[in-house]
Structure 1
């Protein structure tokens, strides 16, 4: 089967989306079409087409007199989405534990958690976020409810459109998250009961939500006071 070449629009779309998701473009930052024309060595047409697609996905917001900007963080939507995600991830993790997570998989989880520690030391926020998602994906491989896992991934994408990977990073919370991962690994190793694992995984996500809320309130206080 002949492989179709990547179109200029697709190239521009992939480039901009990756820079938004990985945090190179900050929330509220203006997208300068002429600059992208130079960076991608193309015309403005495919870039504008890619911008429209990203706008439809909620990653870009078109503002009057300004043009396209990276969608600002919607705090209420973030809190609501991650609250639902906490329930779903807790249940999916507990379901996964019932289908025999192997010693090899537990070793992989430990390795990913150690890599997250290194990312903190290097203040590599984007890599920390990616490793965190991979950590949980390694668990969901064992979940037989594929519909549930698909919905979790859909909510992950929704979170990406609300805030960039690493934008909710807080060093203190990151260290606590790694400790919670260690506790979760230990529960999986000991084959703890369904309710215990479900609660641990659910609270892990809710703790991240609450830390973001506290950080947001602190920043708001700094701005107004």
Structure 2
């Protein structure tokens, strides 16, 4: 049973990684025989992994085709960002009383680097820095399950880049300025409800920018 579970987990990790990094493109068929050979297992652990990925909304089944990588449409992306806004708002509020002065300095440093990258038009690095900024806050969150859910949701949104979605360009400088406001709220030990509301609004403004993209 343990060996079977390990093979299922390994198959899950292999397929999921390839979906998120774009190796498997939206609409691409997942060939069970091939995956089974790669992970050194029978078909059963691979099928179980695929069903788990279906629950994660990363894979869907098509009649007469089988399992394929699910693309993210506007509706699903919108719903996902709404969920992420709630999760991140709460995680930021939980992190607020525990974040250290050094942690706040690190946030300021990351955001300053983001501003510099924007001024130098090094836009390819902004996404990585933005993620680093938010997850540095969450490193102080005491709720590990909440953080795991946020990480998984971010991973699902990574597929958006592979599917060709882009964000409204005016959003980036606004987002950086909002980061400075969030840093100030954390530094001043603002009320947790105020911090949660602001962090949630920050994510929802990204959603609005997506809706207005050109």
Using the size of structure 2 for normalisation, the TM-score is 0.69
Counterpart in 2 of 1:179?
A: 177
Whether 2:59 is the aligned partner of 1:64: answer no
CA separation of 1:88 and 1:195: change in aligned 2, threshold 3 A: same
Contact 1:33 1:44 survives alignment (8 Å): no
Runs of 5+ unmatched residues, structure 1: 219-225
CA separation of 1:112 and 1:12: change in aligned 2, threshold 3 A: farther
Shift of 1:60: 0.8
Spell out, residue by residue over 1:112-153, the C-alpha distance to the aligned partner (whole angstroms, 9 max, x if none).
Answer: 44666769826268xx35x54443333234456x3xx73464
1:138 aligned residue (127, 132, 136) = 136
Alpha-carbon distance in structure 2 between the residues aligned to 1:61 and 1:5: 23
CA separation of 1:156 and 1:143: change in aligned 2, threshold 3 A: closer
Whether 2:167 is the aligned partner of 1:170: answer yes
Shift of 1:57: 3.0
CA separation of 1:161 and 1:49: change in aligned 2, threshold 3 A: same
CA separation of 1:178 and 1:25: change in aligned 2, threshold 3 A: farther
Contact 1:37 1:43 survives alignment (8 Å): yes
Alpha-carbon distance in structure 2 between the residues aligned to 1:209 and 1:60: 24
Counterpart in 1 of 2:108?
A: 110
Structure 1 stretches of 4+ with a deviation exceeding 6 A read 3-6
Q: CA RMSD in A?
A: 3.9
Spell out, residue by residue over 1:178-199, the C-alpha distance to the aligned partner (whole angstroms, 9 max, x if none).
Answer: 3322332233224445455334
Alpha-carbon distance in structure 1 between the residues aligned to 2:3 and 2:113: 36
Counterpart in 2 of 1:82?
A: 81
Taking the TM superposition and a 5 Å limit, the aligned residue runs for 1:14-93 are 14-33=13-32, 36=35, 40=38, 42=40, 45=43, 46-93=45-92
Shift of 1:77: 3.6
Contact 2:25 2:69 survives alignment (8 Å): yes
Shift of 1:85: 3.5
CA separation of 1:24 and 1:189: change in aligned 2, threshold 3 A: farther
Runs of 5+ unmatched residues, structure 2: none
Using the size of structure 1 for normalisation, the TM-score is 0.67
Alpha-carbon distance in structure 1 between the residues aligned to 2:81 and 2:101: 30
Contact 1:82 1:205 survives alignment (8 Å): yes
Spell out, residue by residue over 1:21-72, the C-alpha distance to the aligned partner (whole angstroms, 9 max, x if none).
Answer: 234333333334465467x374672544432332243221111132221112
